[in-house]
Amino acid sequence: MSRRERGNRATALWAVLLVGAFLTGCASAPATTAVPIPPAELTEYAIQPSDTLALEFSYHPDHDQNSVLVGSDGRIMLPLLGPVMAAGLTPSQLAAQLEAMYSSNLRDPRIAVTISTVYRNLVWVGGEVRKPGFVRYRPGLTAVQALVAAGGPKDTAAIENCLLLQRIGRQEYRSAKLDLARAVELGDTRSDWVLGPQDVLFVPMTAVAKANVLVDLYFKKLIPVRFFDKLEKEFQSSDDETDEPAKKPTTSRQPSPTPPPTPPANP
């Protein structure tokens, strides 16, 4: 076996051992087993301060309003009623409350309340997506829709192991594992989840991609000298010297001496 073959085998062995150790470490890491909170689609969105509402009166269209701002105190200002607390209520709850309050001034008030804009409620999507960052939240926004709004997953994304941080308090989050593989690849909407305002969706990297990044980091960026390239060149030169067939020694041909002139014959 030549030195070059031995060097190639040693290099391959080191790479296999490195990747194997990395993947073993990933496999032994504890997995997130928490289940996400039931989808928010089971409940209505609760109105927040600085949201904008639209009010539609079925039988009194002259009272319609398309841009009712929810103040920082959570109240809205309405004709005939004045300030009305809206924050913390769902649109249907606020509609029922307004119908009861307007009944003393209007005959058969039927009111529909919708949310025109949600103010400063964003969802952050990061990790292995093409455009990581904030995605504007809207009631009913799902994890797959947020993923698409962030440019979609990269080829290195492990969408079956997404991390979802659900906001359950002002400064409190609950972590859960979210499998979006069936929803993205097969269109199974049952695997999708409806997000809440200020939730966080993180898409991790696949184990193979992590191994490639590790190899690239240590073997191409941290090592100051192209160590293996140097070894390759050394083995190449040594093999050229070893494998080159022995050449026969060449001898230079000397010109034949000129024979002496023949003496003339005696008469």
**Dihedrals φ, ψ of 213, to 5°?**
-65, -40
Mean per-residue pLDDT, 6-18:
46
3-state secondary structure of 156: coil
In sequence order, what are the residues at sequence separation of 6 or more whose Cβ sits closer than 8 angstroms to the Cβ of residue 35? 176, 177
CA 65, 71, 75, 81 torsion: positive or negative? negative
Distances (CA, A) of 257 to 142, 253, 254: 103, 12, 9
Nearest to 152 by CA among 122, 185, 115: 185
At 149, the pLDDT band (50, 70, 90 cuts) reads: very high
Nearest to 79 by CA among 105, 59, 58: 105
CA 151, 157, 160, 165 torsion: positive or negative? negative
Distances (CA, A) of 258 to 251, 262, 263: 21, 12, 15
∠ CA 70-42-49, nearest 5°, is: 10
pLDDT, position 129: 94
87-98 pLDDT, tens digit each: 989 999 999 999
3-state secondary structure of 9: helix
Give the whole-angstrom CA distance, residue 40 versus residue 34.
17
Mean per-residue pLDDT, 50-59:
94
Torsion region of 194: left, alpha or beta (phi above 0 gives left; psi -120 to 50 gives alpha): beta
Give the whole-angstrom CA distance, residue 109 versus residue 101.
9
At 219, the pLDDT band (50, 70, 90 cuts) reads: low
